[in-house]
């Protein structure tokens, strides 16, 4: 989480609102320097003229505009649809030698992201345990009926991860893969100095806190890659909540108890309103189904997956960004330490169809509604899908 120069220590927070599971694969949470907190320009001057801004709304502080400016180049650096990749691979499974369904499902999910596939196609190196090279060689380009997964364990051997011969968490595996991609992709001159995971999946949340005593508004920002949404309390009517409802709950106004105002220096219980400043190019959601109160247990209530998702109601400027469901890692089982992960994804060659990728088994024409036990959910912008697209979205 990134905050401005007034410092995170200047006020206490509600841990349920501001503390989310690790979704930035170990990236340090450091303050951002020289950030402005008012909605006016520097030193209280009027905001910059709209004619000097891009075609998107700019009703933000300097720091907010800086966040958006940093990602304007993203649209020209990556492949967003399958027509921009060199080869579209047929759907195939991956042989599971024992307990690697957590890794197989994540590899399958990310293999249905055009930008990831293009990075794999472009990457070449001499490292025999390179994640990207082996991913491409032993799965995407593999000529057998199903690929292999042994290379996944080897890629993380030096990191001492995923080598204990036991079931692991798919969310942890996904974050580890994104961390590897960040380190590998910088070898490309085209992506030098870029954070690939942030470019593809990164989003920014703008939080506005208002002191109840002096009414001063403090604005700070959070940047992350995988958006964690929590399960809601069971509906008395038995109705299943939807993915959109879980997201909307994340952006519900709340209260900071014991907020220390930097202006009047007094404490109060201050309201805070989070909004989505930067919508990700690819929306990657982690549905927090597991609790760890002494032992791992799972909340198994189904969550209805929205095939189309518009985040306008959560956006800072109310701008529409429409997403289409493109894949999910689904967990069947009653606990974290046992059960089974598999992947449901939109077909690479026929985007109107879904495929069920369960280890080495591939089932075509699957129904996306089987994703009600989803643990990880992936959405692509509708404008990036052939014949399923929409108008251009906010950045």
pLDDT of residue 302: 93
**What is the predicted pLDDT for the residue at 16?**
29
Question: CA dihedral in degrees (49, 51, 54, 55; nearest 10)?
Answer: 120
pLDDT in the model for residue 33: 30
CA dist., res. 65 & res. 58, Å (int): 7
* Percentage of the chain modeled with pLDDT above 90: 58
Check residue 120 and give left, alpha or beta (phi > 0: left; psi -120 to 50: alpha): alpha
Report the C-alpha gap between 288 and 282 in whole angstroms.
19
Residues pairing with 315 in the sheet? 276
228: which DSSP letter? E
* Cα(103)–Cα(109) distance, integer angstroms: 10
Report for 130-139, 292-301, 334-343: range of highest mean pLDDT? 130-139
Label residue 390 by pLDDT band (50, 70, 90).
Answer: low
Q: Per residue in 206-252, pLDDT tens?
A: 999 999 999 999 998 999 999 999 999 998 998 999 999 999 999 99
- What average pLDDT does the chain have? 82
User: Please, is 316 exposed, middle or buried when counting C-beta atoms within 10 Å of its C-beta (0-12, 13-18, 19+)?
Assistant: buried
Residue 290 belongs to what H/E stretch?
Answer: strand 290-292
**Could you read off the pLDDT of 9-31 as tens digits, one per residue?**
333 333 223 333 333 333 333 33
pLDDT grade, residue 324 (50/70/90)? Answer: very high
Check: CB of residue 379 under 8 Å from CB of residue 75.
Answer: no
Q: Please state the length of the chain.
A: 395
Q: What are 99-125's pLDDT values in tens digits? A: 899 999 999 999 999 999 999 999 988
What's the pLDDT score for residue 4? Answer: 37
In this prediction, residue 283 has a pLDDT band, given cuts at 50, 70 and 90, of: very high
Whether residue 49 has pLDDT greater than 60: no
Confidence category of residue 338, pLDDT binned at 50, 70, 90: confident
What pLDDT shows up at residue 299?
Answer: 87
- Provide the pLDDT for residue 322: 95
Range in 48-57, 272-281, 367-376 with the lowest mean pLDDT: 48-57
* Res 226: pLDDT: 96
- DSSP-assigned beta bridge partners for residue 356: 344, 363
Q: What is the pLDDT of residue 394?
A: 52
The DSSP code for 23 is -
3 state DSSP class of 15: helix
DSSP assigned state of 315: B
Q: Which residues pair with 296 in a beta bridge?
A: 292
- Crossing angle of helices 170-185 and 101-110, rounded to 10°: 50
Six-digit token string for 285: 């959601």
3-state class of 177 per DSSP?
A: helix
3-state secondary structure of 225: coil
pLDDT (tens digit per residue) in 69-86: 766 678 788 999 999 999
pLDDT tens-digit series, residues 168-203: 899 999 999 999 998 888 787 888 778 899 999 999
pLDDT of residue 331: 93
The CATH code of the domain at 82-198+280-384 is: 3.90.70.10
DSSP string, 110-168: HTT-HHHHHHHHH---S-TT-HHHHHIIIIIS--SSEE--HHHHHHTTTTT-S-SSS--
Residue 64 C-alpha from the chain's centroid: 19
Q: What are the extents of the domains in the chain?
A: 8-30+60-76+200-278, 82-198+280-384
For residue 371, give the 3-state DSSP assignment: helix
pLDDT-derived band at 3, boundaries 50, 70, 90: very low
């Amino acid at each position: 989480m990134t905050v401005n120069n007034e410092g995170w220590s200047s006020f206490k927070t509600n841990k349920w609102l501001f503390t989310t599971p690790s979704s930035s694969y170990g990236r340090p949470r450091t303050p951002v320097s020289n950030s402005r907190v008012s909605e006016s320009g520097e030193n209280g001057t009027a905001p910059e003229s709209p004619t000097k801004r891009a075609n998107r709304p700019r009703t933000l502080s300097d720091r907010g505009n800086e966040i958006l400016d940093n990602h304007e180049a993203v649209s020209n650096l990556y492949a967003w649809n399958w027509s921009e990749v060199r080869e579209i691979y047929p759907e195939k499974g991956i042989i599971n030698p024992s307990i690697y369904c957590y890794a197989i499902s994540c590899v399958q999910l990310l293999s249905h992201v055009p930008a990831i596939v293009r990075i794999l196609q472009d990457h070449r190196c001499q490292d025999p345990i390179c994640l990207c090279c082996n991913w491409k060689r032993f799965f995407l380009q593999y000529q057998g009926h199903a690929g292999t997964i042994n290379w996944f364990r080897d890629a993380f051997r030096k990191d001492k991860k995923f080598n204990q011969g036991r079931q692991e968490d798919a969310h942890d595996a996904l974050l580890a893969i994104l961390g590897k991609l960040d380190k590998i992709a910088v070898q490309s001159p085209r992506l030098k100095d870029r954070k690939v995971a942030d470019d593809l999946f990164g989003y920014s949340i703008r939080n506005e806190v208002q002191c109840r005593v002096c009414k001063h508004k403090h604005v700070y920002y959070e940047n992350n890659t995988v958006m964690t949404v929590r399960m809601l309390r069971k509906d008395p009517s038995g109705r299943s909540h939807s993915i959109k409802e879980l997201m909307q709950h994340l952006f519900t106004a709340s209260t900071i108890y014991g907020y220390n105002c930097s202006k009047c220096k007094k404490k109060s219980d201050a309201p805070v309103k989070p909004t989505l400043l930067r919508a990700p190019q690819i929306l990657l959601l982690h549905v927090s189904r597991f609790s760890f109160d002494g032992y791992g247990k799972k909340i198994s209530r189904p969550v209805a997956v929205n095939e189309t998702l518009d985040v306008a109601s959560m956006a800072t400027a109310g701008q529409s960004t429409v997403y289409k469901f493109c894949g999910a890692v689904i967990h069947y089982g009653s606990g974290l330490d046992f059960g089974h992960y598999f992947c449901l994804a939109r077909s690479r060659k026929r985007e109107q169809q879904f495929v069920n990728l369960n280890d080495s088994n591939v089932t075509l024409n699957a129904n996306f509604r089987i994703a009600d036990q989803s643990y990880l959910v992936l959405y692509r912008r509708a404008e990036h899908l052939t014949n399923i697209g929409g108008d251009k979205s906010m950045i």
